[in-house]
Chain A
């Protein structure tokens, strides 16, 4: 704002400002544009800080540790399993059935594909039957792939875990790798051991 050069002609406010400036006691006021820019920058900084804090809290809630048990286990030698049989030794401890049909051996997950309950194996009818809602999956029978869903609300077959043979002839089951029939992954040689 332009001040009048003659101090005697200025209005009282400008005279007071001139006096304070002479004393070195007047800070240059901000004009309206600078005020709004500064305020907007301040609010943007606050919002960014708040957003960063939210992201930090969200990341805090997702630990980078798997608290679960080991994902691989050994299931003994191949000749432990008879053709056309379902072995339930690892059903509780590892959530896996070792199934052998006439041509191959594979490991089925015991998690029902409907809503996650644990089915039971029915020896008489050669099927896996889930007690929660009645989903049924084929057992090892000629003409069908064991684990395929055929009755009840299950939308897809049981999942297979990766199986392999170790150097000393033991079956190694790796539960961290799953093979899904409906995606065509059951033809992947890692999902079974031919025998």
Chain B
């Protein structure tokens, strides 16, 4: 098992969250895992959720439309709109909640993501920067993560207890 702990930092003044994580795999492989929907579906959703891609058009102006499916039938459609792509180096995208047709919902803030990839044939580091339009937006997103994480924790407990 690799022990590549992720590093998390927040900068409230700059309205950003940072996540940095290394993977014991080539840049080529890691890039694929972040940019091909068949791969993303296998890991993108935090447990016990799963991600299912409806459409993906990985190019500037295109978007990835997928559904986050909860164990209790709770679904959330999400959309990543690609703003800038530098192959094997960086992806800039906006992330939104949306409906099944990709129509963006205004109930949830836009997040501006930058993902940087740096690596060789053995190890690859991904740096993620999530920029919010306001601190209040940051609050909404982090709190939603809190609720979902909490629900996930309870579900895992349920699983454990039913054995």
A and B: interacting chains:
no
B: residues with CB less than 8 A from A are none
